[in-house]
Amino acid sequence: MSAPDAGPLYDQVALVTGASRGIGRAVALELAGAGARVVLAARTATEGVHPLPGSLAATAAAIRERGGEAWEMPVDISEEANCAALIEAIEARLGAVDVLVNNAALTYFEPVSSLKPGRWLRSFAVNVHAPYWLSRLVLPGMRARRSGRIINVSSIAAVGPGRGPYTAPGRGGTLYGMEKAALERFTQGLAQEVYQDGVGVAAVAPSDIVVTPGTTYHGLVTGPDDPRAEPPAYMAQAVRLLATLPLAEMTGVVTYSQRLLAQYGLLDAAHGPGVDRPGSGYSTT
């Protein structure tokens, strides 16, 4: 990380959802290191109120220890009114949001046949509706300044399993994959709508499964030494890159972390299924 007072995002307001742990925590630290004043949004305010480790307080403390600025704002973004209150509070305290990172996710790995409607709707509210609500709320400030970046965190799950026959029933990722596919289409549609206003919109997905408390809990990785895994730093660096690239170079991009970093010489050798596996709309050009 560069010194916060010398970074390319110096004094910009960055909002990161899901900032209590995992990718969101890493992204918040990276943007703070680039000089941004980072607003941390998540449900877990302090340690011990969630079964997984990580909290807004812990992320904020890590940022401040490095000389950065962070504001903790506990919030449940599955409700539109809560999203509106969040943006209102940020604008009253810090001014308009310059960088929005829609990272928060709620995932139930269950087959459609057993997934309860309430879980389906709540997951959609966090993973699809909240990025829409928050983007819509920050756009007036971005348009007024003719600058701003909205970055959506996607997943390789957006690319479906392809045509059968199938040898296994899958791992219950239909809902999550559908949500991330919707988020990617939202990304490029919104990018087209606001390009003339100077606002850039992009999406980035991990090239491999990222080691987080959540992926470890669900058994998707065994831990930091899992050879299939990608460190959270790759996604954090990719988000920072998208937040600092020129508008025409980043807007409408839907890509993978390692592919993007390798393209800009920030990673010596890219690997993982996301690097060479094309998906609908996936492009870094």
Q: So what's the pLDDT on residue 196?
A: 98
DSSP, res 66: T
Task: Share the mean pLDDT of the chain.
Answer: 89
Q: Looking at residue 172, what is its pLDDT?
A: 86
Mutual angle of helices 130-145 and 174-194, in 10-degree steps: 20
Query: Nearest-5° angle of CA 230, CA 236, CA 239?
Result: 120
Tell me which of 132, 176, 195, 264 is the catalytic residue: 176
Domain presence at residue 120: yes
* 165: preceding bond cis by omega (within 30 degrees): yes
Task: Tell which residue, 195, 239, 250, has the closest CA to residue 103.
Answer: 239
121 assigned to some structural domain: yes
The CATH number for 260's domain is 3.40.50.720
- Structural domains counted in the chain: 1
Cα–Cα distance measured from residue 233 to residue 23, given in angstroms and rounded to the nearest whole number: 8
Whether residue 282 is contained in a domain is answered as no
H/E stretch holding 116: none
Q: What are the C-alpha distances in Å from 162 to residues 157, 176, 207, 237, 245?
A: 12, 16, 18, 30, 33
Please tell me the predicted confidence (pLDDT) of residue 221: 63
SS3 label, residue 186: helix
Considering the domain boundaries, does residue 11 fall inside one?
A: yes
pLDDT of residue 269: 61
Q: Does 239 fall in a domain?
A: yes
* Confidence (pLDDT) at 285: 30
E strands along 21-137, which residues?
A: 37-42, 69-74, 99-102
With respect to residue 281, please indicate whether it lies within any of the assigned structural domains: no
Per the domain annotation, does 69 fall within a domain?
Answer: yes
- pLDDT tens over the chain, length 285 residues: 445 566 899 999 999 999 999 999 999 999 999 999 999 999 989 865 666 667 999 999 999 999 999 999 999 999 999 999 999 999 999 999 999 999 999 989 899 999 999 999 999 999 999 999 999 999 999 999 999 999 999 999 999 999 999 999 888 899 999 999 999 999 999 999 999 999 999 999 999 877 666 666 556 666 666 767 788 999 999 999 999 999 999 999 999 999 999 999 998 765 655 554 433 333 333
> Catalytic: 10?
no
Is residue 285 in a domain?
Answer: no
What pLDDT is stored for residue 7 in this prediction? 85
| Residue pLDDT, tens place only, 59-75 | 999 999 999 999 999 99
Domain that holds residue 142: 4-276
What was the pLDDT predicted at 59? 98
Report field, pTM of the whole predicted structure over 0.85: yes
